[in-house]
Amino acid sequence: MRKFLLVLLIGIVLSACNTKEKRSERKTNEPKVYSNEFFSLEYPSDWDYEEEINDMADTIPAMSKGIRATFYKNNPYAPFHTVMVQKSAMFECFETPEEWRDLSVQMKQFSPEYIGTVDNLMLDSIQFGPYPAAMAGFVVITEDGDTLIHKQLVVMDGHDLYYLNNSYDWNDDGTLQKKGDSILSTFRIKNSSQDQ
């Protein structure tokens, strides 16, 4: 009887160990998918997001519906890092991403947080997949006194305009920049003019 109880107890312990292993295997680091009517994006499973909608088209017919989604790791001890995608609500007034990028640079001059541009991030005539794009880079000082790099990719799909932003700590060794760029590489436009 003792041998039977011992074998039964060992069997229960081994079964519990296998169950724990299977449960931990189920926990994966598969990315989450954010999606709205305009675009989708994959982001890390331990990140959160906030969404803002700008629908002024009812009051200003020349404007379109805009949406901004900001992704971040909700950990106060982690270095500052956010990824943000914005579909602009602006009306059609420029034909190239470089013109929209230049407007973005000019508008930042009115914000005391933005203290300058990063020359090696100022790029013209680039592509983001099939879409024409331009890039800007800014140095930013936050209200808390942190210094950040704000890397902005301006992407055009027909007359629709998207801003893809990767903001990370000035002292980044390249890790945060690469992670943000990797997240932004999953950005997909729905009902793209390229599909028509």
Beta carbons of 133 and 121 less than 8 angstroms apart:
no
The answer to whether position 19 is within a domain reads no
The answer to whether position 71 is within a domain reads yes
DSSP alpha helix (H) spans, the chain = 2-26, 97-108, 175-184
Count of domains observed in the chain:
1
The answer to whether position 5 is within a domain reads no
Q: What is the pLDDT of residues 75-108, one digit of tens each?
A: 988 999 999 999 999 877 889 999 999 999 999 9
At 88, which CATH number?
3.40.1000.10
Query: What's the domain range around 114?
Result: 29-190
Q: Answer yes or no: is pLDDT of 23 > 60.
A: no
Q: Which two tokens stand for residue 83?
A: 């990824």
The answer to whether position 46 is within a domain reads yes
Average model confidence (pLDDT) for the chain?
A: 85
Q: How far is CA 137 from the centre of its chain?
A: 16
pLDDT in the model for residue 47: 97
pTM attached to this predicted model: 0.80
Q: How far apart are CA 23 and CA 17, in angstroms?
A: 10
The answer to whether position 17 is within a domain reads no
The answer to whether position 9 is within a domain reads no
Taking Cα atoms as reference points, which of 166, 172, 195 lies closest to residue 79?
Answer: 172
Q: Answer yes or no: is pLDDT of 126 > 50.
A: yes
The answer to whether position 83 is within a domain reads yes
The answer to whether position 86 is within a domain reads yes
Q: How far apart are CA 147 and CA 168, in angstroms?
A: 9
